[in-house]
Amino acid sequence: MTEKFCWVELLTSDIDAAQAFYSEVIGWTSAAPGHSERDYRLFFQEGNAAAGLMLLPEEAKAQGAKPSWFGYITSRDVDADVASIVRAGGQLLRPAETLPKIGRFAVVADPQGAAFALWKDLSGIKAPELPPMAVGHVGWHELYTGDVEKALGFYAEKFGWLQGEALDMGPTGFYQLFSTGGHPVGGILRRPPNIPQSFWNFYFTVPALDATLAKVEKAGGKIANGPMEVRGGAWIAQCFDPQGAFFSLFAARR
């Protein structure tokens, strides 16, 4: 069985400001789930949960963490996967913890240092299957890493991800596509020298790129790269929110 990304959440320094920003830019509605002791909020797209939102934990800030988007990968056995990841050269960043009747999770990093969480659902609630590139949800997952081949091998071995086409990007190397099912869901590329840490980047699908980028700037965010046309005639851009969290946008039309 192939494991896949199942959730993303924003760790931020200003939860109210971040909620307002993404509600304006992506068009999400938001609410608290009602079962969390901390201030944890959910973003929704047409009634379906799209992402989570919480304050950056103090222990993470003490270790130098900045506001960022963070992904969860499904796991059938969180503890076994943690042990396997550590044996492969990865790191355990936060020990496994159970949220009663919700799920069990742990925070880890792959051997190149990109952080993510493992997640085993204990709620019994099955999320609806959304079509690829559904508006308002993560449509693409992108790993910036120090070694593309080793990174692909790690995720293929641990989670059953399949190697796809390698796109020649010229001086920056190859953009390695991967799938967790019947179609590509992400790519892996070598991080440039000015990015010191490997990390996962998430693309949120929006109806049209230019209109969304105008909202980014109006709401106090910054455009880092783009708009850029990609294969198939789609358009992407990379941005920072007002708290400094990096995120990307994907649209079928400019």
Phi and psi (nearest 5°) for 88? -85, 0
User: Is residue 206 in some structural domain?
Assistant: yes
State the Cα angle at 173 between 188 and 65, rounded to 5°: 45
Domains: count for the chain: 2
Bridge-based pairing of strands 48-55 and 5-12 is: parallel
Do 89 and 165 lie in one domain? The reply is: no
pLDDT tens, position by position, 104-115:
999 999 999 999
To the nearest 10°, report the CA torsion of 65, 220, 132, 41.
60
Assess whether 22 and 96 both reside in one domain: yes
Structural domain harbouring 206: 138-251
What pLDDT, on the 0 to 100 scale, is given for residue 3? 94
Among residues 157, 151, 235, which one has the least CA distance to residue 191?
Answer: 151
In a domain, 240, yes or no: yes
Q: What is the predicted pLDDT for the residue at 37?
A: 66
Residue 126 lies in a domain: no
The answer to whether residues 118 and 184 touch, using CB atoms and an 8 Å cutoff, is no
Tell whether 151 and 110 lie within a shared domain.
no
- Which residue, chain included where needed, has tokens 């938001």? 30
CATH of the domain at 153: 3.10.180.10
The H-assigned helical ranges of the chain are: 15-25, 58-62, 78-87, 148-159, 209-218
Output the pLDDT for position 114.
Answer: 97
Handedness of CA 70, 186, 103, 128 (dihedral sign): positive
Where does 107-175 have alpha helices with state H? 148-159
**CA–CA dist 111, 57 (Å, integer):** 23
Q: Pick from 59, 86, 121: which residue ends a domain?
A: 121
Cβ atoms of residues 112 and 145 within 8 Å? yes
Supply the pLDDT for residue 36.
58
Residues 112 and 198 occupy one common structural domain:
no
What does each of the 254 residues of the chain score in pLDDT, given as a tens digit? 689 999 999 999 999 999 999 999 999 998 876 555 678 999 999 999 999 999 998 888 887 889 999 999 999 999 999 999 999 999 999 999 999 999 999 999 999 999 999 999 999 888 888 888 999 999 999 999 999 999 999 999 999 999 999 998 888 788 999 999 778 999 999 998 888 899 999 999 999 999 999 999 999 999 999 899 998 889 999 999 999 999 999 999 99
Residues 178 and 236 in one domain: yes
User: What per-residue confidence (pLDDT) applies to 183?
Assistant: 86
Kindly state whether residue 131 falls inside one of the protein's structural domains.
no
* pLDDT at res. 83: 98
pLDDT of residue 2: 85
- For residue 125, the model assigns a pLDDT of 84
